[in-house]
Amino acid sequence: MDVKFESWKEIIKDENIAFKKTKVLTDNILSYCPGCGHGVVHRLVAETIEEMEIQDQTIGIAPVGCAVLAYDFFDLDMQQAAHGRAPALATAIKRLYPEKFVFTYQGDGDLAAIGGNETIHACNRGENITIIFINNGIYGMTGGQMAPTTLEGMVTSTSPYGRDPKLMGYPLRITELIAMLPGTYYVTRQAVYKPAYVRKAKKAIRKAFENQKLNKGVSFVEIVSNCNSGWKMTPVEANKWLEENMLKTFPLGDIKVDGELVKEL
Amino acid sequence: MSEIRLMMGNEAIAEAAIRAGCDGYFGYPITPQSEVLEYLMAEKPYERTGMVVLQAESELAAVNMLYGGGAAGKRVMTTSSSPGISLMQEAISYMAGAEIPCLIANVVRGGPGLGTIQPSQSDYFQATKGGGHGDYCLFVLAPSSVQEMADFVKLGFEMAFKYRNPVMILSDGVIGQVMEKVELIDPIPRRTQEEIIKECPWATTGKTPDRERNIITSLDLDPIRQEKHVMNLKEKFEKMKEDVMWENIQTDDAEYLIVAYGSSARISQKTIDLARNEGIKVGLFRPITLYPFPEKELERLSKQVKGILSVEMSLGQLIEDVRLAVHDRVPVEHYGRVGGSVHTPFQVLEALKEKIVNKY
Ligand SMILES: Cc1ncc(C[n+]2csc(CCOP(=O)(O)OP(=O)(O)O)c2C)c(N)n1
Ligand code: SF4
Ligand SMILES: [Mg+2]
């Protein structure tokens, strides 16, 4: 279904433009819920690619998850991977086209549960790729089931009485795990729920793409994000909840920079 | 100048890959085909042709590496054996849906489950009827010699790119492990990026300003569009019939017919000679492509014979396609050892007499 707002076109004139969308995003209307972090991160990745002037050299990989249609939004050559397998696709593409920029865009279910093995081994091999990891502590796309990153006590549709670690395991801090691997070169955890954090996240994403020129291993950017639909909150409530709860288990900041751990794990 | 060597099937397929201009091999060890990856690692094709060789963390990862590389227009391949091929079915289905060319060889071993490491032909259904979820077919080649193990790499890549579809070489532990004389082709250079862009305008090679972005996906949530897509795939699977291949051995005067592929065809060839020494006029029909199945030719042959024995190291999978092709015009029976046991020419002869010649 294509929704068209023809009347907007009259307003879109050069003299009226106060803020411009990057050309690396298409004009397709985002499928994300209002207030969802996915949209913001899409913009940051697209802006980075525009600023680096690498649109014609970039190949992106969409996951299975809410970002499954990412290829509708990025004006890039893109592949859609089976659930969790994006790092395997990226491995081959980068090895076969070492001069191109290759990134995966994955949710926490995709990257840390079903694709945990592909993630760890691509990171351990030191593939020269960028991984953008959207951690919203839940399976957004399938309606809010428990993810490996779901917090202790957190209510989801498959942990209706709260996540009990004795029954369901602990929240998986996969970012700390992969930072320990010698194959990762840059590992950082960011957020996009506040303007200041958006600017920081943008810098991190830029670094993660720039690093591909160095050929030194994986650059991994986790974004602690929200899922207001899955969390059953308004966008404002979700951002508040994120700050008060998610960041305790998933503290923000760089973990590994230029191949050196900068945080005690 | 081509080159003649004594090689095992698994080595031949590896060397043929280098010579066929393969861009990337991604694999995971499993008996009886680990020699492919071992040969490639020892041979360093990245120095010979620039070909990438990588030991993946699993068959799951290996086959998804094929997805990534194939979707970017590269000639990519993997080899495995039955349990590994089962693990690959998810991505094979995705690649069929997303129309990604690639080459996969299954050096079949006995099953089900972990089964045995000895040869079998019990993955026929999986190879020829799709194998993973959804409506799709693979182009399936069945080598019956080390020579064909090598030859089918180049042919397999040609078919994969002609049809934008995964191609499977359905081999088995006999063909993989046996040593034979093989004539290797002169190396074909790997395609340049310009050639790839020209040959594969659909590939994700980077969106240049002169074209729209290329998207490789098997997803379309709109049932009408998805239906159209699957119908387009069907047309392609039909079109594959123009590349159907088979071999007739001593069929001209045959009153009985053995149908067998791969190593069973090799074994049955001997049976034909033994039978003819006893005055039984039997011929061998060897399907070389298992999909598309050479049904027209088999139907033609069925009109001259009194009975058909379908020989396969399985409980009877090939026989279903044989029966479909001959429309019950003549009796069709199955014979085959299973679970890693290999029938001898004499056992096939006994079965031929008992199940066909003495009855019809
Ligand atoms: C093999 C397979 N298993 C399950 C699914 C169903 N599925 C689709 S998306 C998803 C979870 C995605 O969650 P996440 O990666 O966290 O992404 P989010 O939607 O939260 O961004 C699941 C389980 C699938 N598509 N494929
Ligand atoms: S379901 Fe959650 S993750 Fe998915 S778009 Fe909505 S808010 Fe975002
Ligand atoms: Mg999620």
Query: What percent of chain B has pLDDT above 70?
Result: 100
Q: Which residues from B are below 8 Å from A90, CB to CB?
A: 68
Start and end residues for every CATH 3.40.50.970 domain found in chain B:
3-193
Could you tell me which chain A residue has the CA closest to the CA of B90? A82
Does any domain span residue A207? yes
ipTM of predicted assembly, 2 dp: 0.96
- Ligand 1 center to A134 CA (angstroms): 13
Cβ atoms of A242 and A166 within 8 Å: the answer is no
Number of domains composing chain A: 1
Residues A147-157 have pLDDT tens digits of 999 999 999 99
Residues A149-181 have pLDDT tens digits of 999 999 999 999 999 999 999 999 999 999 999
> Taking the mean position of all CA atoms in its chain, how far away is CA B354?
31
Stretch A206-220: mean pLDDT = 98
Q: What is the pLDDT of residue B328?
A: 87
Cα distance from A220 to chain B (closest Cα, Å)? 19
For residue A51, the SS3 value is helix
Q: Which residue has the tokens 């006994």?
A: B350
Q: What is the pLDDT of residue A2?
A: 59
- Ligand 2 center to B127 CA (angstroms): 39
Q: What is the pLDDT of residue A20?
A: 86
Long-range contacts of A16-24 (CB under 8 A, 24+ apart): A22/A46, A22/A47, A22/A50, A23/A50, A23/A55, A23/A75, A24/A49, A24/A50, A24/A55, A24/A74, A24/A75, A24/A76
Q: Do A93 and B69 touch (CB under 8 A)?
A: yes
Does any domain span residue A2? no
Name the CATH topology of B3-193: Rossmann fold (3.40.50)
**A56 in contact with B, Cβ within 8 Å:** yes
CATH of the domain at A72: 3.40.50.970
**How confident is the prediction along chain B (360 residues), in pLDDT tens digits per residue?**
689 999 999 999 999 999 999 999 999 999 999 999 999 999 999 999 999 999 999 999 999 999 999 999 999 999 999 999 999 999 999 999 999 999 999 999 999 999 999 999 999 999 999 999 999 999 999 999 999 999 999 999 999 999 999 999 999 999 999 999 999 999 999 999 999 999 999 999 999 999 999 999 999 999 999 999 999 999 999 999 999 999 999 999 999 999 999 999 999 999 999 999 999 999 999 999 999 999 999 999 999 999 999 999 999 999 999 999 999 899 999 999 999 999 999 999 999 999 999 999
Atom of ligand 2 nearest to the CA of A31: 5
Cβ atoms of B343 and B311 within 8 Å: the answer is yes
The answer, yes or no, to whether residue A111 has pLDDT greater than 70, is yes
Q: Do A59 and B91 touch (CB under 8 A)?
A: no
Q: How far apart are CA B303 and CA A167, in angstroms?
A: 66
Q: Do A90 and B23 touch (CB under 8 A)?
A: no
**A85 in contact with B, Cβ within 8 Å:** yes
Q: Is the CB of A216 under 6 A from ligand 1?
A: no
| Interface contacts (A, B; CB < 8 Å) | 126
Q: What is the pLDDT of residue A11?
A: 78
**Residue type present at position A165:** P
Ligand nearest to the CA of A192: 2
Atom of ligand 2 nearest to the CA of A231: 2
For residue A152, the SS3 value is coil
Starting from the edge strand earliest in sequence, which strands make up the sheet with B246-249, in order?
B246-249, B282-287, B256-259, B307-311, B332-335
Q: How far apart are CA B69 and CA A193, in angstroms?
A: 36
Which pTM does this prediction carry?
A: 0.96
- Ligand 2 center to A37 CA (angstroms): 8
Q: How far apart are CA A49 and CA A130, in angstroms?
A: 12
Q: What is the pLDDT of residue A233?
A: 97
**A121 in contact with B, Cβ within 8 Å:** yes
Residues B235-275 have pLDDT tens digits of 999 999 999 999 999 999 999 999 999 999 999 999 999 99
> What count of residues does chain A have?
265
Start and end residues for every CATH 3.40.50.920 domain found in chain B:
247-357
Helix (H) or strand (E) holding A220: strand A218-224
**A108 in contact with B, Cβ within 8 Å:** no
The dihedral through the CA atoms of A87, A93, A95, A99 has a sign that is negative
Q: What is the pLDDT of residue A4?
A: 65
Cα distance from B61 to chain A (closest Cα, Å)? 5
Q: What is the DSSP letter of A227?
A: -
- Of A29, A73, A141, the one to substitute when testing ligand 2's pocket (max ligand atoms within 8 A of C-beta) is A141
Nearest partner of A189 among A149, A133, A139, A129, judged by Cα:
A133
Q: Helices (DSSP H) in chain B: which residue ranges?
A: 9-19, 35-43, 45-48, 59-71, 82-98, 124-128, 146-163, 173-177, 193-199, 223-239, 262-277, 295-302, 318-326, 345-352
Q: What is the pLDDT of residue A92?
A: 98
Long-range contacts of A195-201 (CB under 8 A, 24+ apart): A197/A252, A198/A40, A198/A44, A201/A41, A201/A44
Q: In this structure, what token pair is assigned to residue B217? A: 């996906």
Q: Which residues from B are below 8 Å from A78, CB to CB?
A: 204, 213-216
Residues spanned by the domain of A27: 7-261
- Of A227, A228, A232, A239, the one to substitute when testing ligand 2's pocket (max ligand atoms within 8 A of C-beta) is A227
Q: Which residues from A are below 8 Å from B24, CB to CB?
A: 92, 95-96
CATH of domain B247-357: 3.40.50.920
Q: Which residues of B touch A (CB under 8 A)?
A: 23-24, 26, 52, 54, 56-58, 60-62, 64-69, 71-72, 74, 76, 90-91, 94, 98, 193, 204-209, 213-219
The answer, yes or no, to whether residue A7 has pLDDT greater than 80, is no
